[in-house]
Structure 1
Amino acid sequence: MSRTMDTTIETPVAGEAVDRLAAAIDLRDPSTILRFGAEAQSRAASAADAMLGAARNQATGEAGEALSGLLSTLRGFDVTEMSEKPGLVGRLARLAGRGQTQATAIIQRYEGVRGQIETVGDRLDGHRTRLLEDVERLERLYGATLEWFHALAEHIAAGEVVLARTDAEAIPAAEREAADSANDLAPQKLRDLRAARDELDRRVHDLRLTRQVAMQSLPGLRLIQENDKALAAKIHSVLANTVPLWRTQLAQALAIQNMREAGDAVRAATDLTNRLLTANAETLRRGNAEARVELERGVFDLAAVQQANAALVATLEDSLRIAEEGRETRKQATRELAKAEAEIRRALTSAGTGPGRRSS
């Protein structure tokens, strides 16, 4: 832009245009001086209005706000937190209480945010279209302002040509005429010529000021145009790169989360398998020990044989003792019976020899 500006300012003024403009100036006709450059100067108001409209373009402000809102939404929905350890257990516990996995919760939250992103994206696309239209309009305005700048330069050059010619030729001739002629109107003509010359000089000065305004408006137009192009490019980059990249990141995060959940399930299954193997091995060990103990036992336990033998010996001893006691009891009974029998005999004997016994 700076090289274009420098080249534009230093471009030599076309001779034909300057000669044509200079020929239109008649110092004897004040109206030609008043009209000189008026059309070129009138473009200043149009350029100022155009720059003011571009500077306060609502689309630019709304586009910036919409872009900031979209970026804030994307930053607020940080899918990388799914991989963060701090607080993960608490979040999973809360989600588990509602019967949700973290991936499901993230997807549901994404569904709510996606509508906002699409709405803002549509608005941004519309703003981008208007910004590009503004860029084209500003380009046309820049070209018109550049033409205005050249037109002012041509008018200034033409005025300077007339001023130089007037100072070099017309005024000295008028001065000689006023000094040598007996015409009483010659001094007045000299005065009018000098007044017209000064009026033209003021007009050329005004045109120089107007050209300075045109020179200042050119970089201003470029600055606004560059800002619009930069914002339009940023919107395009966000819509074409940031949003798809965010969605890709979300898909990757969900895939990683699903793999993590699958890994947790596999880990739980592996832990269960290990516990079952350990429990089965322990059960087998206890069962084998019990079986081997029973297998290694004899048909009769020694303690049982000893107890049975002791009982048998006690039984035999009891039998012998009882038998012995029975013999003793029978012997005693025999003696008692013999004694009883003897008493019976004695009693009978005594009864046959007593007094009063009758003889048979």
Structure 2
Amino acid sequence: MTDDTIQNRAEAALREAEKVTAVVLPEPKAATEVVALEQADPAVSAEIRKRMEQLDLSNTNSIVNFGSTAQAQLQEISQSMLAGVRNKDTGPAGDSLRQIVTTIRGFSVSELDVRRERSFLEKLLGRAAPMARFAAKFEDVQDQIDNITDDLLKHEHLLLKDIESLDILYDRTLAFYDELALYIAAGEAKLQELDTRTIPAKEAEVQAASEEQGVMKAQELRDIRAARDDLERRVHDLKLTRQVTMQSLPSIRLVQENDKSLVTKINSTLVNTVPLWETQLAQAVTIQRSSEAAGAVKEANDLTNELLTRNAENLRAANRTIREEMERGVFDIEAVKSANENLIATINESLQIADEGKARRARAEEDLQKMEADLKQTLASAKSRSTGLGDTVGGASGAAPV
């Protein structure tokens, strides 16, 4: 939807609203301004007498229904305004009506109310989660603005229809208000007629009646008095109804004024706010894209800096390793020195072991010689014993003779 289309539709709706709001509604008369039959002009007096003729004291329904025909036209316009209206459109009043209906039907529709708080189990299971927010993420912004614009235009059109309907309702309510005044005047005139003429005349008939007709006349008198009391109560109800009707007139006007203000506000929104939305959203898109581009550039720069830093660090570490290896000899002096020390220690250890072996062998040689000498001596002693020289040898050795 283009801006020109929105502008044209908004201007057309504004012209229609100005035409509707230009209607001047008449002011109601005060609730106490009920013109009595004696004080009414001939035209009003004729209307009052016409309504008095609707009363038939012998017919209870005529008293009960007295003044009800005045509400027919008012009820007709009210019913036409309520036709097709859902409970949700009437706010708290609709909620109360719905509660009554559900109570009568025996089940509750609270589970279907999107405004109610979800239970813990529903929150835990993620049940009854609104899908509108999720779906809105994938809709075109311009389509959403067009939908809002169409919705505002629909509301504006409905409000204009409501204003016109309220004009009619106000006129019918005012007519009903004036009509009630005629019925009240007719009822009071009838009551005055009953009190001043009919009932006294009937009382005189009772007094003048014979004993046989006295009971019938007395019953007729009681019926007239009962009908008179019923009519008095009905007139009182009509006065209360007229008072409530008078109170509803400023209420209708207040609703109309609110509707007119809403129509003006909607027009202002269509003409001024919606284009501003589009401008701001366009800026938001540009800002978002700039932010995303800046983020991408930042990430690229961060990556470049990170690569430069890591490459420099890697180069330094690799260069240190290479240069250290280049400056090393074929053999490390520490390794040669350690090998030389180990070699010297090995040679010294070998010489020491050789000297120790030589000494052990020398000691072993002495031991061998001693063992050989001992063995020879032992063998020589054994030979002397076998030739008889052992005793001599034994004596010479200091052994005691046997």
For this structure pair, what is the TM-score category when the shorter chain's length is used for normalisation?
0.3 to 0.5
- TM-score w.r.t. structure 1 length? 0.48
Higher helix proportion, which one? 1
